[in-house]
Amino acid sequence: MENNAFYVALSLLVNLDATLFQIVALSLQVSLLAVLIAAVLGFPLGAAVALWHFPGRGGVIVALNALMGLPPVVAGLTVYLLLSRAGPLGEWGLLFSPSAMVIAQVVLVLPILAALCRQKVEELLGEYREQFMSLGMSRSRMMPTLLWDARFALLTVLLAGFGRASAEVGAVMMVGGNIEGVTRVMTTAIVLETSKGELPLALGLGIVLLTLVMVINAGAYAVAEFTRRRMG
Amino acid sequence: MTSLNAPFVEASRQLPFSALHFESVTFRHQGKPLLGPCSFSLEGPGPTLVMGPNGAGKSLLLRLAHGLLPPTEGRVSWSSTGRPRQAMVFQQPVVLRRSALANITHALAVNKTPRNARKRLALEALAHFGLTASADTPARVLSGGEQQRLALARAWVLSPGILFLDEPTSALDPAAIRAVETAVQAFHQQGTRIVMTTHDLHQAKRLAGDVLFLSGGKIREHTPADSFFNAPVSPEARAFIAGELVE
């Protein structure tokens, strides 16, 4: 019985295992903060690329689309080099801290949010363009209107970003270091338990992670469906 | 429809209409001439009805006049009194994904109306177009006729000196058409210069002060409504009024 992953997952939850909750809390904290920062930067960036035509715009769009598939370890390595003692941002002393993990996940999530937002805003702009011009709106005035009107689509985009952030292990492992009680998150804990041969515990953690992601997605879906039905 | 509240009338409505001039305006798309060259002036009280068969260039002419498109050649200009405040209502009303009320307060915000006046003005405009009950309804679940009235209310709240309407009733049922025509007349009575396209002869007879008749991208006739309907000069207009199929 003790070797059954579901039993382990359940007992971890039922016994309110303190270590588990710390790991879950840190995972959520890091990924949600990373998605929030990436959204604040990425949505206006995506909308700007949709609205303004500048030389090299095509290149920016291709780069954003390509970076959606950036391997987490490459993002991790880049942030590692930037934050390591000898690196340009070494003075900040952030390596192997939750802040470093947030930065690495922002690098991973930002292209996804910006690229998908660009696409949604461009679609909406096609529909609204003449009305906006008729109202005499400048491009910078169009941006908040378009972002607000694309809000349902952008919520789904946020979920895609959160999925990417909470599921990846390579980046947080490299810049966080999987230090118990400091930078250990669900995915790095699963890697560790697996390598130790504690397969039921690893699987149990996996089930908890999956459940958590499902609950967050279900909540967001319910909110989106409710508002979509109300707003048409 | 309720009557218009006095404080709602802005000074701009009372000003004389500043004439719009087309000087040998041509519009080409990928080298293909779609309109012109055409020269005319819109003066007098209107309403001006732009008529002609499909593909004659009516919508294009309206977009050039409103400044949504730049002419390939020639010049669109306003007389010395300057460019008036403009608004346009499209064939397919473009409404934002928010409530009817928020659609209007958005236009007011763009227009830099003080924040504390926006809601009152928006509610007055909705009431004027019989949309009070729909104020909090998402605009995109309104019927086609209601959406078009919302687009008219949004134009109304901006107190335009000139209002362009591009086939505003072509997708609507008779009751909704009547509501739009009543609204157009209300705009006209408030001193807003109306320029509207239609291919519906009966509608033009009900509304027109003067008629600008287009076919094949050329202006065939620009005459007062009476003479246009009773004694059209150009063969194309004669054929159009007689109900023949005009290319």
Hey, are the CB atoms on A145 and B106 less than 8 Å from each other?
Answer: yes
Hey, are the CB atoms on A149 and B98 less than 8 Å from each other?
Answer: yes
Hey, are the CB atoms on A232 and B140 less than 8 Å from each other?
Answer: yes
Q: Is the pLDDT of residue A38 over 70?
A: yes
CA distances (Å), A162 to each of A38, A77, A90, A105, A110, in order? 10, 21, 28, 10, 11
What's the CA gap between B91 and B165, in Å, rounded? 8
Interface residue ranges in chain B relative to chain A, Cβ cutoff 8 Å: 63, 66-68, 86-88, 90, 94, 96-98, 106-107, 110-111, 138-141
Q: Is the pLDDT of residue A232 over 70?
A: no
- Chain B residues whose CB is inside 8 A of the A149 CB are 96-98
pLDDT value at residue B10 = 42
* A149 in contact with B, Cβ within 8 Å: yes
Q: What is the pLDDT of residues A71-94, one digit of tens each?
A: 999 999 999 999 999 989 989 989
Q: What is the pLDDT of residues A85-123, one digit of tens each?
A: 998 998 998 999 999 999 999 999 999 999 999 999 999
When pLDDT is averaged across residues A48-72 and rounded to a whole number, the result is 94
Question: In which element (H, E) is residue B118 found?
Answer: helix B115-128
Calculated CA dihedral for residues B141, A137, B121, A149, nearest 10 degrees: 30
Q: How many Å lie between the alpha carbon of B223 and the closest alpha carbon of chain A? A: 28
CA distances (Å), B187 to each of A58, A145, B196, in order? 45, 28, 12
Q: What is the pLDDT of residues B44-64, one digit of tens each?
A: 887 999 998 888 889 999 999
Hey, are the CB atoms on B96 and A149 less than 8 Å from each other?
Answer: yes
Hey, are the CB atoms on B141 and A231 less than 8 Å from each other?
Answer: yes
pLDDT value at residue B15 = 52
* A128 in contact with B, Cβ within 8 Å: yes
Q: Among all residues of chain B, which has the CA nearest to that of A152? A: B97
- Chain A residues whose CB is inside 8 A of the B87 CB are 134
When pLDDT is averaged across residues A170-175 and rounded to a whole number, the result is 94
Do B104 and B154 touch, CB atoms closer than 8 A? Answer: yes
Between B193 and A228, the more confident residue is B193
Question: Which CATH number is B17-94+162-241's, of 3.40.50.1220, 1.10.150.530, 1.10.3720.10, 3.40.50.300?
Answer: 3.40.50.300
pTM of the prediction?
0.87
Q: What is the pLDDT of residues A177-210, one digit of tens each?
A: 999 989 999 999 999 999 999 888 888 888 888 8
- Chain A residues whose CB is inside 8 A of the B107 CB are 135
What's the CA gap between A145 and A150, in Å, rounded? 9
Q: How many Å lie between the alpha carbon of B13 and the closest alpha carbon of chain A? A: 18
Q: What is the pLDDT of residues A129-168, one digit of tens each?
A: 999 999 999 999 999 999 999 998 898 899 989 999 999 9
Hey, are the CB atoms on A131 and B90 less than 8 Å from each other?
Answer: yes
Lowest mean pLDDT among A207-211, B131-135, B138-142, B143-147: A207-211
Q: Is the pLDDT of residue A20 over 60?
A: yes
Q: Is the pLDDT of residue B14 over 50?
A: no
Choose among A128, A148, A152: nearest Cβ to B94. Answer: A128
Domains of chain A: 5-231 (1.10.3720.10)
- A34 Cβ contact list (under 8 Å, min separation 6): A101, A102, A105, A106, A108, A109, A165
User: Could you give the ipTM of this predicted complex?
Assistant: 0.87
- A153 Cβ contact list (under 8 Å, min separation 6): A120
Q: Distance between alpha carbon A219 and the CA centroid of its chain, in Å? A: 17
